[in-house]
Every structure is written in structure tokens, then in C-alpha cells.
């Protein structure tokens, strides 16, 4: 016989276990024998292959082609410098590939390290004490304690259950939750046995205890390695945009190379010289640092987010979060502190505080069933902490139990016989207990689900018929408490004469009272809401609470600004068509109340069809589909179930709404940082192209050589560009609306600023320095200069150095793109500062050392040349400040006019 065919006692005996669990010494022995409860990772791409891929991506292939053409040209026409160009391009490919791989490797290591902040825990019974341990430390014979939302960490045989249902989809493919119980099974296979839970499945509802009989690779899950086989990587919006950008820039680079080859041919340049310059133009226009910059930007934002209690599970989700336009958030624990306390109790048509009831024992005694209900109808667990038994679980139930114990002055321990579990559809929990006299069903839950089941009410110890008038009184009392922001629960009970195993017993109940629980808003949420409004992010509360409670909390925290927000209940939501829901979502203030978790999907789908980027919070099993459907799924790190965390893109380590806003700020910075990087590297393309144009069209000596272009793109510019990609969020990033849907990283506004403003002025400074040196050397138009003449070498060095100096200025202009650099923090990015220092050191090395002069074709510059270059670079700064000033003057009236139209 197999273990699922045994009786409970026989199953325990077969594994030498007991109802009280294993001893610590037995656990140690079995851990050595059976190993850790973990699945061997299916081998993915080798490190060597991942390293090789950094040399065969789209940009790298263009550079390989350019290097191949250069070596081919050298073989056909030796002595034209093509060999040096080829080696230089190979150096570019190697440096960029190694750096990209290192950045990606570091980013993955950082993500892996951060995710270890949330290890997988399970509850087990050992030595008759419930303990919380790492799932990897489970051994055969352990007694698991399971409840709704838990992932099943090992194959186990149920010992006892209360309304347990399990989702087997990951192992068996069954789409619907399956009921499970502890009775012996006649099934041959474990997969279909009603008393077994398989590793990799999840508990949908109810609770139970189970005996572990297989761990790690010995489980059914381990045998098929299902988890590692079903992981599917999808491209994020940022990844798709980067691929689009890569294609555009590649086409642009190749097109410019072809155009300049044609121009050179038309003005009579030799084929091989022309060919060399065309290759150089292509190389100069390929942004070699784009991919490592994107990785660095995302990785650094991820690390900053972790410090702000937001753990990113998928790297590209960082930028997606920054583009969020709507946040659908839970109330309890996210907007509020999840620290429940009983504030008001409604008994016998009167409102009481817990303190008042503790002083009036006659009322407590006359309403004893109510307090028994508050004490017993719960799913709390007890564990030994510091030598004392301590309950843990739902804060609401902890508050109710504490109040009941205080008022009763004694602890009642009526054995629980069965339970009808709470779920988001029923919105109530019933437990069945054996009291000294009879069997009693205690029920608590939302007023609208409990009150219709009541045919009687308890008043001063008497059982009376429930009249329509009494129902209205109860509903008015509920609304009165809900208007104060209290969470209201109804309590009822009944005696059971026969049978106690069915949900059908929840009828003909006796209503005994209402409780209003206070869950105060988190103090930092109000400020976070203000930031959302300023940032143009719409916040929609989606809660299971009463509409009046939701509105009251919404007004307290500033989520609701109008007097009459739109409130849609779950019942109303079911009746709305898709069009009606989409129209309703246009309301400035909207709340969804008494909504089941599975209804979140309807809301998310409607918002996405309206072209919103949707972030959704969730903590329960039923939240997982909505978390997956959303653009950014956000799970709770403290209260969230394992299922919700695995479905999410981000996990809040503190369950705090304010942490979402901090993460959005970091996400917005990623997008802006990539745009800053693009502006910076594209600006230098113009002063690198213009010298060739003038050389080809006006027959002047070539102002800038190919090797000098490569020194700029891959030497002096690289680190400052990476620094721009890792900048912290700007102070004004959360004072403007999310970027428009469909906005591109590379748009005409960015191209115009880079190519036709910053780039043009850099070209003017570079050519001005070049012609200044030629003029002081008495060069006349039409005179030819030998490539090794001192005057020519000094002139090209002036052009080269002028581009570096203007790029030093440009890095600050790009760092603060919208307002004056004198209003921002210029020196808060150490990577940029070290990059500028490296630029200066490299420039001095290239300009003033014999080895640098030989390799790069340069010559030392005199002081007079620097007195021309540096002031002209500062003129560039002044012109950019003037541009920002006039743009701001034109933008502010337009924004004011739009606001007046909106008002």
C-alpha cells in the first residue's frame, strides 16, 4: 500500500512520526540523510555563452562588419592606415563586450541577493510547538501547518483539514481548485488522491495539517522539474523600445556612412581613403555604450528601490513602474497600518466601547454568545514564544479575541469540530464548536452576507424574531460606524441539532451584534497621495470593505478630493458592461468597495484598454491573476501569500503605499536617465561628422582623424555617459504627469536638441579651435599640409580637445535638461565626476605624451589655444541657459491656460 491509502495513524507510523511532530535530533538526522528540500536548478545558459552573446548583438555585428571591411581594405591597399582602424574597432568590440557582460552579471547578482531578503518560510509542528522554518529545512516526517495562500513546499499526506481546497494546476493541469480531506484514498496515483498535497501546488482556501513524505528532487514536482521548465521570459516595453532604438540608430549610422562615401567619391577622393572615412562615420554613430548604460541604470535604480523597501523581481519592471498612470491599491495594510482595534460594539440597540462593557458584566453575561463568537470564530494559530503561548494571524481576529477575553474575564476552549472557511465570495467565516450543552455554529462576516441569513436576534438574553424594522436599525447602525471609517462585522450564531459538516447549516441564524474596528491610515500615506496627484497618477482604492468605510478612509488620506466620489460595489460591477465600466473609470475620484479579489481583473483589463499603464497591489491567492495581468504587479512582503509574491513584479517589504510612490520616482528616473545618455552621445556625433563634411566639400586638411573619433567615443565619453545613466531622480520628477502613452525614447525633440543645438555648437567650437591654430601657423586656403607636419598635428589636436572640453560642459547640460544647472545639484553623481577626471587625464595623456602623440596623431597645444577653447565652451553653457529660460517662459503660460480650461 502507498501512503495515501493508509489511515492517519498508519501513515504517521510508516514515517516514524507522531501528531506532535519530530524532535530536533530526528530532524537533524533526516536532513543529513535526505538532504535539503530544494529543487536542483535546471542548467541554463552557460556563463561562457552569455559572455559570447555580448559580442554578437546588433551593434556588435555592425562593428564586426566594419572591422572586417577595414582589414579587407588593408589587404587590398596596404599603408593607408586601415589596419590600425581595424584593430581599433576590435578594441571597441572587446571593451564594450566585457563591460556589458560585467554590468549584466553584477545586475543579476544584485537581484539574486535582494530576493534572498524574502526566503520561503513554512510552519511546522515539532516537539508539539509550531515553528516557522525555511522551506529548505523540511524533512520527511515533518508535520506541516497549512492555510489559505500557502505554497505547498513538499509532497505530503493530510492528517486533518478544515474546508481545504488546493490549486493543482502547476502539476496536474487541473484549472479548478480541488477539495481535499484526510480520509484514506483508493486512488492508485498520488496526483488524484484526495488526501495528498503535492509540492508546487497552493492552498486556495481552508486550513489543515499534513505529514511530509517526500522532499526536494524526490517529490513529483522535483521529478519533472516543472518550475524551471515553465519559466517564460517576455520582453518589457523598455526592451522593445531599446530594440527599436538600436535598429533606428544602426540604419542611421549605415546610411550616413553610405552618403559620405558617395560625397567623397563625387569630390574625387581616392577609393580606399573614402572607404576608410565611411567606416569611421559608421563607427562614430554607433552608440556602443547604450546597452551597458541601460543595464547599469536599471540595476542602480533597483538597489536604490530596495533601500526604500521595494524589491524588484524582474529588472525591466523598474522602468515600467515609472510610466504608471494608475495605481489600483488595497486599503487594509497598504493604505492603513493593519493594526486593528475594536472601537465600537453595537449590542441591544446601543453603542458601547470595550472599556464600557468591561465595567458592565451584566450586559456581557446577557450577550455571552456574542463574546463567545468573537473569541472562537477565528483562524488564529498559537506558537510558543519566549516560553509563552502567543497567537498570530489576522490582526482583525487578534483584536476581536483580545476584546472578548477582556470582557469575559476568562478563556473559553470549546473544541472546534469543523469550519466553513472565509473566502472573498462568501465574505464570512463560520466555525462549529462542541459546547458543554450542544453543538454551536458561530458566524461572523460582512453585514450584507450575514444579516440575510438571520431570522432571529438576541436582545438582553432573549431570542426574538427578526423584523424588517430591526434589520433597518442594524443597517443604520452599520452605516453610522462605517461613516467614521470603521470596518464593520456582523456576528450571529445557531445551535445545531444534527450534522455539522455542511455550509447549508449557515441559515436561520440569530443575530447578536456588530463590531466596528479601527485601522488607522499610515501617517506617510497622505503625503504619498499628494505626490500622486502632483505626478498625474490616478489612485483607485479597490477594497472588500463597506463603501462608507472606504470613502471615509479615502478622504482622510487625500485619495478622494471631491465631496461625492463615484463608488462602485462588487454587485454593481457584475452588472456593468465593459463599455459602462470604462466610462465609469473616467471619474476623477472612484472607489471600488465590497469587491472580490477576482473582480480586480475586470478593473485592470478595462484600464489597460484605455491605454493606461496599470500598477496593482495584492496579497491573496485570488489577487494573482490581476497581478499577472497588470503592467506592474505589486505584492505585499509581510501579509502577502507566496502565490501573490510569485505573480508579482515587485514586492513591498513594508506593505506600505508610500514605498510604491518612492519606487515610481526611481522608475521615472530610469527613463529620463536613458534620454540624458542619448542626448549626450548623439551631441558628439555632429562635431565628429562636420570635420569630414568640410574636408570633403571645401578641400581643407582633415580636422579630425578616425582614431581620434574612437578615442572620444570609447575613451573620454564613456564613463560620463554611464554616469548620466545612473543619476538619482530629479526633484521635479514627481511634479509632472507620466509620459504620454506611446512616447518614444528617441523622439524629434531629443534629436533636435542633440543634433541641431548642442551638437552644432560643439562643432562650431571644435572647428573654431582648428582654424585658430591654422591661422596662427600662417596656413592659407588651398595649401596642402602633410599628415605628419607639426602644424597639422597641433590643429587636429585642437579640434579633438575642443570636442572633449565641450562634452565636459555638455554632461552637466544633459544632467539637468529642463532648468538652470545653477538650480540643480551639479556634483552629486560620483560616476560623472570620476568620468570627467578620467576625460581630463586621457586628454592630457593623448595631447602631451610622446606615446599618446604617436598613437593618436596629436601634438601639444600652447596656452593661447586653451584660452580660445575654454571660453567658447562656456558660451555654449550660456546659450543653453538662455534656451531653457525662453522655453520655460513659453511653457508656463501654456500650462496655465490648460489649467484654466480644465477648471
d(Cα 839, Cα 759) in Å, to the nearest integer?
A: 18
For 115, counting Cβ atoms within 10 Å of its Cβ (0-12 exposed, 13-18 middle, 19+ buried), the class is middle
Q: What is the DSSP string of 344-370?
A: EEEETTEEE-HHHHHT-HHHHHHTHHH
Cell 424574531: give the residue: 465
Name beta bridge partners: 516.
344, 488
> Between the CA of residue 189 and those of 167, 543, 826, what are the distances in Å?
17, 41, 68
Q: Which is the catalytic residue, given 142, 330, 631, 713? A: 330
| Nearest of 5, 40, 26, 48 to residue 188 by alpha carbon | 5
Alpha-carbon 53 to chain mean position: 27
d(Cα 135, Cα 467) in Å, to the nearest integer?
A: 53
Element (H or E) spanning 818, and its range? Answer: none
Inter-residue contact 827 to 835 (CB < 8 Å): no
List helix spans (H) across 417-465. Answer: 447-450
The DSSP code for 452 is G
Strands (E), 341-486: 341-347, 350-352, 381-385, 388-392, 416-420, 428-434, 439-445, 454-459, 462-465
Inter-residue contact 63 to 288 (CB < 8 Å): yes
Q: Hey, how many other C-beta atoms are within 10 angstroms of the C-beta on 2?
A: 16
d(Cα 731, Cα 723) in Å, to the nearest integer?
A: 18
Angle at the Cα of 649 (from 643 to 654), degrees rounded to 5?
80
| Nearest of 335, 322, 326, 309 to residue 664 by alpha carbon | 322
Q: In sequence order, which residues have a C-beta less than 8 Å from that of residue 225 and are 6 or more positions away? A: 39, 40, 42
Sheet holding 590-593, edge to edge: 310-312, 650-652, 632-636, 614-618, 326-329, 538-542, 590-593, 566-569
| Gyration radius of the chain over CA positions | 35
Q: Which three cell numbers, joined as nine digits, stand for 126?
A: 515539532
Inter-residue contact 605 to 579 (CB < 8 Å): no
Q: In sequence order, which residues have a C-beta less than 8 Å from that of residue 646 and are 6 or more positions away? A: 151, 624
Report the residue count for the chain.
903
Q: Phi, psi at residue 318, to the nearest 5°?
A: -55, -50
Inter-residue contact 427 to 445 (CB < 8 Å): yes
Q: What is the bridge-based pairing of β-strands 632-636 and 614-618?
A: parallel
d(Cα 498, Cα 512) in Å, to the nearest integer?
A: 22
Question: Is 330 labeled as catalytic in the residue annotation?
Answer: yes
Q: In sequence order, which residues have a C-beta less than 8 Å from that of residue 214 and are 6 or more positions away? A: 140, 154, 155, 199, 220
Cell 555648437: give the residue: 761
Name the residues annotated as catalytic.
330
Amino acid at each position: 500500500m502507498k501512503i495515501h491509502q493508509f489511515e492517519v495513524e498508519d501513515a504517521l507510523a510508516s514515517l516514524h512520526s507522531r501528531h506532535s511532530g519530530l524532535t530536533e535530533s530526528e530532524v537533524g538526522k533526516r536532513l543529513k540523510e535526505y538532504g535539503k528540500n530544494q529543487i536542483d536548478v535546471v542548467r541554463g545558459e552557460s556563463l561562457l555563452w552569455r559572455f559570447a552573446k555580448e559580442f554578437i548583438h546588433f551593434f556588435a555585428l555592425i562593428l564586426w562588419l566594419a572591422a572586417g571591411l577595414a582589414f579587407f581594405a588593408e589587404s587590398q591597399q596596404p599603408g593607408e592606415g586601415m589596419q590600425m582602424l581595424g584593430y581599433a574597432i576590435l578594441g571597441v568590440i572587446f571593451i564594450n563586450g566585457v563591460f556589458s557582460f560585467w554590468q549584466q552579471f553584477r545586475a543579476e547578482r544584485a537581484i539574486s541577493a535582494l530576493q534572498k531578503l524574502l526566503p520561503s518560510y513554512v510552519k511546522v509542528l515539532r516537539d508539539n510547538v509550531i515553528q516557522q522554518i525555511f522551506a529548505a529545512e523540511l524533512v520527511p516526517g515533518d508535520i506541516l501547518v497549512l492555510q489559505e495562500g500557502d505554497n505547498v513546499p513538499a509532497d505530503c499526506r493530510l492528517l486533518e483539514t478544515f474546508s481545504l481546497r488546493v490549486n493543482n494546476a502547476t502539476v496536474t493541469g487541473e484549472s479548478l481548485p480541488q477539495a481535499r480531506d484526510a480520509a484514506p484514498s483508493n486512488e492508485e496515483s498520488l496526483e488524484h488522491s484526495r488526501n495528498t498535497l503535492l509540492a508546487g501546488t497552493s492552498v486556495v482556501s481552508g486550513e489543515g495539517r499534513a505529514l511530509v513524505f517526500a522532499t526536494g528532487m524526490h517529490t513529483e514536482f522535483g521529478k519533472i522539474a516543472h518550475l524551471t521548465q515553465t519559466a517564460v521570459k517576455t520582453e518589457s516595453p523598455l526592451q522593445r523600445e531599446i530594440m527599436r532604438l538600436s535598429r533606428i540608430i544602426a540604419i542611421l549610422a549605415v546610411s550616413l556612412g553610405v552618403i559620405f562615401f558617395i560625397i567623397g567619391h563625387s569630390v574625387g577622393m581616392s577609393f580606399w581613403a573614402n572607404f576608410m572615412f565611411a567606416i569611421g562615420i559608421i563607427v562614430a554613430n554607433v552608440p556602443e555604450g547604450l546597452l551597458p548604460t541601460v543595464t547599469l541604470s536599471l540595476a542602480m535604480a533597483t538597489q536604490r528601490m530596495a533601500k526604500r523597501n521595494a524589491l524588484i523581481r524582474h529588472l525591466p519592471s523598474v522602468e515600467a513602474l515609472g510610466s504608471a498612470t494608475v495605481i489600483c491599491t488595497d486599503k487594509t495594510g497598504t493604505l492603513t497600518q493593519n493594526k486593528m482595534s475594536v472601537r465600537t460594539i453595537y449590542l441591544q440597540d446601543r453603542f458601547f466601547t470595550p472599556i464600557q462593557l468591561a465595567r458592565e458584566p451584566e450586559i456581557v453575561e446577557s450577550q455571552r454568545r456574542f463574546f463567545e463568537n468573537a473569541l472562537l470564530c477565528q483562524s488564529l494559530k498559537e506558537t510558543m514564544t519566549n516560553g509563552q503561548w502567543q497567537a498570530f494571524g489576522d490582526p482583525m481576529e487578534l483584536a476581536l479575541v483580545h476584546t472578548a477575553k477582556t470582557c469575559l474575564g476568562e478563556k473559553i476552549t470549546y473544541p472546534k469540530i469543523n469550519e466553513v472557511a472565509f473566502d472573498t465570495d462568501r465574505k464570512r467565516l463560520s466555525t462549529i464548536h462542541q459546547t458543554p450543552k450542544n453543538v454551536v455554529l458561530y458566524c461572523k462576516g460582512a453585514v450584507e452576507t450575514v444579516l440575510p441569513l438571520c431570522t432571529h436576534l438576541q436582545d438582553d438574553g432573549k431570542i426574538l424574531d427578526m423584523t424588517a424594522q430591526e434589520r433597518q436599525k442594524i443597517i443604520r447602525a452599520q452605516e453610522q460606524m462605517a461613516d467614521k471609517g470603521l470596518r464593520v462585522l456582523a456576528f450571529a450564531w445557531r445551535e445545531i441539532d444534527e450534522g455539522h459538516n455542511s455550509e447549508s447549516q449557515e441559515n436561520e441564524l440569530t443575530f447578536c451584534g456588530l463590531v466596528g474596528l479601527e485601522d488607522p491610515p499610515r501617517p506617510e500615506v497622505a503625503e504619498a497621495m499628494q505626490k500622486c496627484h502632483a505626478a498625474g497618477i490616478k489612485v483607485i482604492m479597490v477594497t472588500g470593505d463597506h463603501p462608507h468605510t472606504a470613502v471615509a478612509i479615502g478622504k482622510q488620506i487625500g485619495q478622494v478630493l471631491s465631496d461625492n466620489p463615484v463608488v462602485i460595489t462588487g454587485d454593481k460591477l457584475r452588472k456593468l458592461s465593459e463599455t459602462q465600466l470604462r466610462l465609469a473609470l473616467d471619474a476623477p475620484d472612484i472607489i471600488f468597495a465590497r469587491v472580490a479579489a477576482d473582480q480586480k481583473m475586470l478593473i485592470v483589463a478595462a484600464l489597460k484598454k484605455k491605454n493606461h499603464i496599470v500598477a496593482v497591489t495584492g496579497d491573496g491567492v485570488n489577487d494573482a491573476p490581476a497581478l499577472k495581468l497588470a503592467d506592474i504587479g505589486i505584492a505585499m512582503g509581510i501579509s502577502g501569500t507566496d502565490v501573490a509574491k510569485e505573480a508579482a513584479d515587485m514586492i513591498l517589504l513594508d506593505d506600505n503605499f508610500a514605498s510604491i510612490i518612492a519606487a515610481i520616482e526611481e522608475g521615472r528616473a530610469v527613463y529620463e536617465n536613458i534620454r540624458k545618455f542619448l542626448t549626450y552621445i548623439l551631441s558628439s556625433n555632429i562635431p565628429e561628422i562636420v570635420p569630414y563634411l568640410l574636408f570633403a566639400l571645401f578641400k581643407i586638411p582633415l580636422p579630425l582623424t578616425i582614431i581620434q573619433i574612437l578615442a572620444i567615443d570609447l575613451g573620454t565619453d564613456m564613463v560620463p555617459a554611464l554616469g548620466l545613466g545612473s543619476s538619482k531622480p530629479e526633484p521635479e520628477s514627481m511634479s509632472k504627469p507620466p509620459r504620454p502613452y506611446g512616447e518614444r525614447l528617441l523622439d524629434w525633440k531629443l534629436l533636435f536638441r542633440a543634433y541641431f543645438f548642442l551638437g552644432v555648437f560643439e562643432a562650431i567650437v571644435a572647428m573654431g579651435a582648428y582654424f585658430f591654430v591654422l591661422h596662427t601657423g600662417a596656413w592659407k586656403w588651398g595649401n596642402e599640409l602633410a599628415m605628419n607636419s607639426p602644424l597639422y598635428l597641433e590643429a587636429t589636436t585642437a579640434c579633438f580637445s575642443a570636442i572633449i572640453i565641450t562634452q565636459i560642459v555638455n554632461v552637466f547640460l544633459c544632467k539637468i535638461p529642463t532648468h538652470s544647472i545653477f538650480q540643480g545639484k551639479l556634483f552629486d553623481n560620483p560616476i560623472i565626476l570620476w568620468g570627467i577626471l578620467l576625460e581630463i587625464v586621457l586628454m592630457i595623456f593623448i595631447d602631451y605624451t610622446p606615446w599618446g602623440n604617436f598613437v593618436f596623431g596629436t601634438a601639444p597645444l600652447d596656452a593661447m589655444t586653451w584660452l580660445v577653447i575654454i571660453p567658447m565652451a562656456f558660451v555654449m553653457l550660456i546659450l543653453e541657459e538662455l534656451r531653457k529660460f525662453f522655453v520655460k517662459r513659453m511653457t508656463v503660460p501654456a500650462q496655465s491656460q490648460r489649467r484654466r480650461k480644465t477648471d
